[in-house]
Structure 1
Amino acid sequence: MPTTPAGPPATEAPLIELDGVEKVFHVRRRTGLLRRERREVRAVDGLTFRVPRGEMVGYIGPNGAGKSTTVKMLTGILVPSAGRLRVAGTDPSRERERLARRIGVVFGQRTTLWWDLPLRDSYGLVRRMYRIPERRYRENLERCVELLDLAALLDVPVRQLSLGQRMRGDIAAALLHDPEVLYLDEPTIGLDVVSKAKVRNVLRDVNAERGTTVLLTTHDLTDIEQLCKRVMVIDHGRLVYDGGLDGLLTAGGGERTLVVDLEREFPPIEDVPGARVVRVEGPRQWLAFAAGGSAAPLVAAVAERYPLVDLSVREPAIEDVIARMYADRPAA
């Protein structure tokens, strides 16, 4: 499948570097009353990519594709079985404590907060752990509390928070020490529409204003559409796409839709090359065309032949494109 290479500017070393990284787990399973079979599971298989400083990248794939394993290696929790991995010029597994002061992590439904403490006290412990100067801590805390709407939750024990409230609390904790790179695993899980918008705004701000590098893993592809210009798709531990959203739509063989409103009902529009009618409702018709194609010639052809009132172009759902990519790939 074609990919679009994405690399750092020639004048600056990338913040994140992976070269042929592998992670192999050895698991045992029972095959009989007294017999066990040892099996090799290759969670990550030859990953190579670069992420420049200040970039926000979507890292997506199905469950079990190797996303979380990758992030755990990037944080030093797991050691690669093979290959070379660097974050900010350091080996995460060998310099984990040093690197911890430069990264922020939100691991989905696994909180980094103290379960029986109020949010305020949890944040105080984070300040001590990272040795954050008092003034900077106060400024960052006030900013996160305001942007993530946490004021009413500061004195509530973490165990009493809903999943969505705790996620917002975890994101604030990850940002208090001004990390250079932020790893986010499902940061909007359990959030309502308003809370999701707040989280996305915070991520845009820290990326734009502070140059924070963000690696975002999510199943909510609206997060990717609204936040990331670059997308990496992983499947069976291998990188199957690396490039822009537009290229992803083309690589996945998706279709765009031209929605045409005519002055009155007409038979299905079948005389426009490069398009096919997929739906007709009264004077409105839906014409599908290749995601990589331009809508301009179709619009011109329809306007020339039919009394046109209005039209719009709808992009394909990314979920459908990615599902098609997986379906087209041979089983590992």
Structure 2
Amino acid sequence: MPPLPLLPQVKTVLVDEDSAGQRLDNFLMRHLKGVPKTHVYRIIRSGEVRVNKGRASADSRVAAGDLVRLPPVRISERVAEKAEAMAQSITRDAPARDFPILFEDEHLIAIDKPSGVAVHGGSGVSFGVIEQLRMARPQAKFLELVHRLDRDTSGILLIAKKRSALTNLQDQFRERETGKTYLALVSGRWPANKKVLDKPLHKYLLTNKDGSEGERRVKVVAKDDPNGMPSVTLVKVRNTTSSSFTLLEVTIKTGRTHQIRVHLASEGFPIVGDDKYGDFDLNKTLLRAGKLPALKRMFLHAWRLQFNHPVTGERVELMAHLPSELETFSTHVAPTFP
């Protein structure tokens, strides 16, 4: 009997916001499909799996920005063939596309990601920003995502052009040395004195009608909930119009899945256009142009990002103006909005 196919040699995986809070064993099973569960636990116990270069136990929880080392492991031939076919399909079918550049040097690129575009392929998405960028720049030897944004969120996204830059910037995100501020338009008049939202969040899966696992959702839980992940959001009122809408500057101190959306909605002020946690009746109304221009997306934009340059150490501040569709809508809501 021929030996089982071997996964590529040592691989390092960046923990994204969707995976933050998972147990290490569950995280590995998602990334090592086709590997027996007993083998997953063996490579954890042996120390072959490393989290941020250190050993970790199966029940330890990964955080956004963690770097997880995956050793070579053997998988079933069927899984190997499927993975190879998927990788080839994504690469082959991804259209070449450049995105608006906010900053670029020999170490990194900062782009202004449009809404509706995933940052990478997978989970029902054929291709994303990184695949399209690689096709547009075939001469580039190295292009990797430093962090991620939700598909429906627009704004600043960093891509590393060298592995040293990738590691340095990911360390900054993990150690919370970066500054990330978003613009969000919410329904209602936000209380100016409500400036800090310190509410633990818990991820869970909806159940489909057939009993299978559905979409991921996030909810606020009690401070003493063992499944709650500490989550802190800072809120500043940028502008308000009568009692209908408020434009907020939102700075996240932790990077949980859907953190801004859930925190704001939990206060009774959902983000306009949010199709998961929003005011669905209002969203339907805003889809149709009337007194206001139609709004066909969520009003959440990664507006400002601060970080230390991975080589010079100089503090860099980038800003991405509101996309035209959000600027048009906000101008009609209140002419003094940016």
Q: TM-score range by the shorter chain?
A: under 0.3
Q: TM-score, normalised by structure 1?
A: 0.26
- Which structure: larger Rg? 1
